[in-house]
């Protein structure tokens, strides 16, 4: 058959050419890991590899367990020192952290008489090399603030030209 597999698990190989059958070596390795964590070895039969068991959360992934987040900017926001966040909570914590940057931009603009023209947040994801789970790897906040500059001679001449252009445009004559 070209490109279509039958329903069920009759094909002994997956699309990558790797055997779908559980290897005794793979399941015994998973069984050892489960036993070390104090879990039932019967779970090992459900997973063909250690990576599959880690992805399912049956075995703890060391990379995900030791992942830390730290902010590299100089603003007064969270994560100034490296801190661990559970993979399940990382998305919400990173979004909240990036919102702190947006709030700081609005505060800075208000403080200096400016206006926030644009504030955008990008959340970045990556794939864990050990367990294959997709996780939030960080975020980036971009803000554009416009500040009035009354001392700038170009700004003064622009205001003067706008004033001359706009004078008389809303002329209303009463009879």
Average pLDDT over residues 129-135: 87
Tens of pLDDT, residue by residue over 10-51, are: 333 444 444 444 444 455 666 666 667 666 666 666 666 777
Q: pLDDT averaged over the chain?
A: 74
Percentage of the chain surpassing pLDDT 70?
63
| Beta-ladder partners of 121 | 141
Which residue bears the tokens 């700038």? 152
Confidence band, pLDDT 50/70/90 cuts, at residue 118: very high
Q: What is the pTM of this model?
A: 0.60
Domain boundary assignment for the chain: 20-60, 66-165
Asked if residue 30 lies in contact with residue 49, where contact means CB atoms within 8 angstroms, the answer is yes
Task: Provide the strand spans (E) within 18-172.
Answer: 68-69, 83-84, 115-127, 134-146
Instruction: Supply 20's token pair.
Output: 């779908």
Q: Which of 10-14, 136-140, 150-154 has the highest mean predicted lDDT (pLDDT)? A: 136-140
DSSP H helix total and E strand total for the chain: 5, 4
């Amino acid at each position: 058959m070209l490109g279509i597999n039958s329903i069920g698990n009759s094909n002994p190989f997956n699309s990558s050419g790797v055997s779908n059958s559980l290897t005794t070596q793979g399941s015994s390795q998973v069984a050892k890991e489960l036993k070390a964590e104090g879990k039932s070895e019967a779970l090992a039969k459900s997973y063909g590899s250690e990576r599959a068991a880690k992805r399912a959360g049956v075995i703890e992934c060391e990379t995900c367990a030791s992942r830390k987040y730290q902010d590299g900017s100089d603003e007064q926001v969270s994560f100034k020192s490296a801190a661990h966040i559970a993979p399940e909570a990382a998305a919400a914590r990173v979004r909240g952290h990036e919102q702190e940057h947006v709030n700081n931009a609005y505060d800075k603009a208000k403080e200096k008489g400016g206006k926030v023209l644009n504030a955008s947040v990008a959340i970045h994801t990556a794939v864990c090399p050990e367990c294959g789970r997709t996780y939030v790897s960080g975020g980036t906040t971009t803000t554009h603030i416009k500040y009035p500059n009354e001392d700038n001679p170009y700004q003064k001449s622009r205001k003067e030209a706008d004033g001359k252009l706009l004078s008389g445009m809303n002329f209303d004559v009463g009879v």
